[in-house]
Amino acid sequence: MTSILTNTSAMAALSTLRGINSDLADTQDRVSSGYKVAKASDNVAYWSISTTMNSDNKAINAAQDALGVGAAKVDTAYSAIDSAIDVVDEIKAKLVTASESSTDKEQIQLEITKLQEQLSAVSQAASFSGENWTVAGADASNAVVVDGFIRNSDGTVKVTTAEFAIASYAMFGSISATGVGTGGILGDVMTIALTSTMTQGQIDSYLATVESALSSLTDAGAALGALTTRIDMQDDYASTLSDAIETGVSRLVDADMEEESAKLSALQTQQQLAVQSLSIANSSSQNILQLFQN
């Protein structure tokens, strides 16, 4: 039966066209945005996971930036320690020279004094971002470097750190207002003062002081070297971890562009056919007029 009031064929064609247009709009959104899960309504579980992991990834990247700052501080302190070792080696050589009885010990002391001043200058200049790891200062707390960000199994988060014991490895305990270092690893080295009447026993005592300082400087350099290795390894790991998280999130929420482009072409064809079908269904009512014209 054909009715001029209700066109069931047109209704079916229109319903089909609406469904195709809805699918086409969704596919176009995926193609334009690159996401198959762009909002919570697309997939609640995947959207929740991706939101959390993207947030964690930003924190990891921030920790990686902090690692760069920490690495600069370590490198600055290590450069000072390395330079100090060279200077102390020179003082050691001067003391060995002074062991020769015919040498002018007071002239040698003039050179040693300049080397001592150099030690103070090296330590005083070893500052990065307001921190100087070569001077213990009044508050000799450990230096802390942020080296990571982790999420525990219970959902809580934690920032991990690496520490450097400034009190144990500082070149000086403090720097006076006149720029002279005192205390610390090199405090005793700064007290070396040769005179023309100095005995070999006293020089040997100074040599023992220098050897002790060199040993302590070597330990400090080793500690900084170990910290540098840890920071470098953590930096590499943070980069790898960040890439892994991005890849994992991508698998959850990114659209397959090959699949979506193929689906888009198919839906566009279906849309054209549905429009044509609706046009045919609407024309059937007009054909009834021919019955009355005859």
Based on the domain organization, do 136 and 271 belong to the same domain? no
The token duo for 146 is 């942020």
Q: Is 90 exceeded by the pLDDT of residue 87?
A: yes
What does the mean pLDDT of the chain come to? 84
C-beta separation of 80 from 122 below 8 A: yes
- Domain contains 36: no
Task: Report the candidate in 181, 189, 183 with the shortest Cα–Cα distance to residue 213.
Answer: 189
C-beta separation of 26 from 42 below 8 A: no
Q: Counting Cβ atoms within 10 Å, is residue 154 exposed (0-12), middle (13-18) or buried (19+)?
A: exposed
- Domain contains 7: no
Report H helices in the chain.
8-33, 44-98, 105-125, 166-169, 200-253, 257-287, 289-293
Based on the domain organization, do 151 and 277 belong to the same domain? no
Q: Looking at residue 98, which CATH number applies to its domain?
A: 1.20.1330.10
Q: Is 90 exceeded by the pLDDT of residue 282?
A: no
Q: What is the mean pLDDT of the segment spanning 217-245?
A: 89
Whole-number Å distance between alpha carbons of 166 and 169: 5
Residue 272 is predicted with a pLDDT of: 80
DSSP state of 196: T
- Residues contacting residue 281 through CB under 8 Å, at least 6 positions apart: 7, 9, 10, 12, 13
Higher-scoring residue by pLDDT: 155, 243: 243
Based on the domain organization, do 281 and 147 belong to the same domain? no
Q: How many other C-beta atoms can be found within 10 angstroms of the C-beta atom of residue 294?
A: 4
Based on the domain organization, do 110 and 211 belong to the same domain? yes
Size (the chain), residues? 294
Q: Is 70 exceeded by the pLDDT of residue 18?
A: yes
- 1-12 pLDDT per residue, tens: 556 556 677 777
Higher-scoring residue by pLDDT: 158, 240: 240
- Domain contains 79: yes
Per-residue confidence band for 67, with pLDDT thresholds at 50, 70 and 90: confident
Q: Is 70 exceeded by the pLDDT of residue 24?
A: yes
- 110-143 pLDDT per residue, tens: 999 999 999 999 999 999 988 899 998 766 678 8
Based on the domain organization, do 162 and 238 belong to the same domain? yes
Based on the domain organization, do 117 and 172 belong to the same domain? yes
C-beta separation of 147 from 157 below 8 A: no
What is the extent of the structural domain holding 88? 47-254
Q: How many other C-beta atoms can be found within 10 angstroms of the C-beta atom of residue 265?
A: 11
Higher-scoring residue by pLDDT: 160, 72: 72
Residue 286 is predicted with a pLDDT of: 66
Phi-psi region of 132 (alpha: psi -120 to 50; beta: other; left: phi over 0): beta
C-beta separation of 174 from 191 below 8 A: no
Residue 3 is predicted with a pLDDT of: 60
Count of domains observed in the chain: 2
pTM for this model (two decimals): 0.73
Whole-number Å distance between alpha carbons of 198 and 37: 83
How far is C-alpha 271 from the chain's CA centre?
50
Q: Is 80 exceeded by the pLDDT of residue 278?
A: no
Q: What is the mean pLDDT of the segment spanning 14-28?
A: 77
Whole-number Å distance between alpha carbons of 24 and 80: 66
C-beta separation of 264 from 30 below 8 A: no
- Domain contains 10: no
Based on the domain organization, do 266 and 250 belong to the same domain? no
Report H helices in 194-256.
200-253
Q: What is the mean pLDDT of the segment spanning 68-90?
A: 93
Residue 213 is predicted with a pLDDT of: 95
Q: Is 80 exceeded by the pLDDT of residue 26?
A: no
In the chain, % of residues over pLDDT 70:
91
Based on the domain organization, do 128 and 264 belong to the same domain? no
Based on the domain organization, do 147 and 267 belong to the same domain? no
